[in-house]
Amino acid sequence: MVHLPITVPRPLHTIFRPVTTLLMGSSISSSSGAPGSPIGSNLAVPAPPTAKTAYFAAGCFWGVESAFRRRFPPLTSGLLDTRVGYIGGNTPSPTYRAVCTGVTGHAEALEVLYDPAKLRYEELVEFFFRMHDPSDKGGQGPDRGSQYRSAIFTNSANEEKVAREIRRRVEERWYKGREIATEVARKGKWWGAEEYHQVYLDKNPNGYECPSHFVRNFQTVLDTSIDGTDEVAAELPKPESKV
């Protein structure tokens, strides 16, 4: 049975992007066009040498980053750091304003730095599918265009295998009869977004958040391993019904 998500109404200013942000790239940025610092560079304790990165695109990156940081609180869950940026395009040094036009080919995306000893890649991928609508082919919510597409960008053949298998299970179990639009592609060049966009909703609690960004209360698809052997997923905190 497919569980249909229930949305909670939001104030209008949180479901429509500020016009100045759409037109100018950022309305109050003090470092226009300057990318933020590299992921993990501001950690009080250096990331372990075994730390890995993961890359997800699921619409407006403000809400994507906020959702992941709420579900996996940094430093206590295995998630070490996050940065938002641009990936999957063919234009060097893209700016927010350029990406918003949809012509650079980039997607707004989230870079996650995590400790695989505490947090599995599979858990990140499953949560990615929970927190947005992967069946939407044209964007997310009111955010339309290829820059808001659903995509997972992988670092290796193993990550690609995991992402494709979880996508298959999600389509089969959660979205029966609806095709999953999520692209799975090998990671290319990552471009960090302007500093103004980093942890945007922490800095602007009443800022815009895509209405498609909330946690769906589906049964886990990690009840067996990706290799198909019996491996019940570790007990995880019950996801919030709304992010």
Residues linked to residue 52 through DSSP beta bridges, in sequence order: 114
Residue numbers of the domain that contains 119 = 49-243
φ, ψ for residue 26 (rounded to 5)? -165, 140
Q: Residue 122: its pLDDT value, please?
A: 98
- State the pairing for strand pair 139-140/107-114: unpaired
Domain assignment present for residue 72? The answer is: yes
Average pLDDT over residues 13-42: 54
Domain assignment present for residue 71? The answer is: yes
Q: Which positions are catalytic? A: 60
Average pLDDT over residues 197-223: 97
C-alpha–C-alpha distance, residues 163 and 183, integer Å: 10
Average pLDDT over residues 40-68: 96
Domain assignment present for residue 36? The answer is: no
For residue 72, give every residue at least 6 positions away whose Cβ sits within 8 Å of its Cβ, in sequence order, or none. Answer: 78, 79, 114, 119, 124, 127
Q: What angle do CA 139, 192, 45 make, to 5 degrees?
A: 120
Average pLDDT over residues 226-239: 51
Domain assignment present for residue 33? The answer is: no
Helix axes 61-71, 121-130, angle to 10 degrees: 130
- State the pairing for strand pair 183-186/150-154: parallel
Domain assignment present for residue 19? The answer is: no
Q: Residue 17: its pLDDT value, please?
A: 57
C-alpha–C-alpha distance, residues 222 and 236, integer Å: 11
Query: How many domains, the chain?
Result: 1
Average pLDDT over residues 218-222: 97
Q: Residue 75: its pLDDT value, please?
A: 85
Average pLDDT over residues 96-112: 97
Closest CA to 119 of 151, 161, 184, 72: 72
Report whether pLDDT(48) > 80: yes
Domain assignment present for residue 168? The answer is: yes
Report whether pLDDT(132) > 70: yes
* Cβ pair 150, 181 in contact under 8 A: yes
Q: What angle do CA 81, 118, 60 make, to 5 degrees?
A: 35
Q: Which two structure tokens, joined as six digits, stand for 10?
A: 């939001």
CATH number at residue 82: 3.30.1060.10
Closest CA to 78 of 112, 44, 111: 112
Percent of the chain with pLDDT over 90: 76
Which amino acid makes up residue 234? A
pLDDT band, very low/low/confident/very high, at 28 (cuts 50, 70, 90):
very low
Report whether pLDDT(180) > 70: yes
Q: Residue 234: its pLDDT value, please?
A: 45
Q: Measured between alpha carbons, how far apart are the two ends of the chain, in Å?
A: 23
Domain assignment present for residue 202? The answer is: yes
Average pLDDT over residues 157-172: 98
Q: Residue 37: its pLDDT value, please?
A: 85
Q: Residue 34: its pLDDT value, please?
A: 55
* Cβ pair 111, 41 in contact under 8 A: no
Report whether pLDDT(10) > 70: no
Q: Residue 12: its pLDDT value, please?
A: 42
* Cβ pair 217, 25 in contact under 8 A: no
Mean pLDDT, the chain, rounded, equals 85
Domain assignment present for residue 76? The answer is: yes
pLDDT band, very low/low/confident/very high, at 226 (cuts 50, 70, 90):
confident
Closest CA to 211 of 108, 113, 142: 142
Average pLDDT over residues 67-73: 98
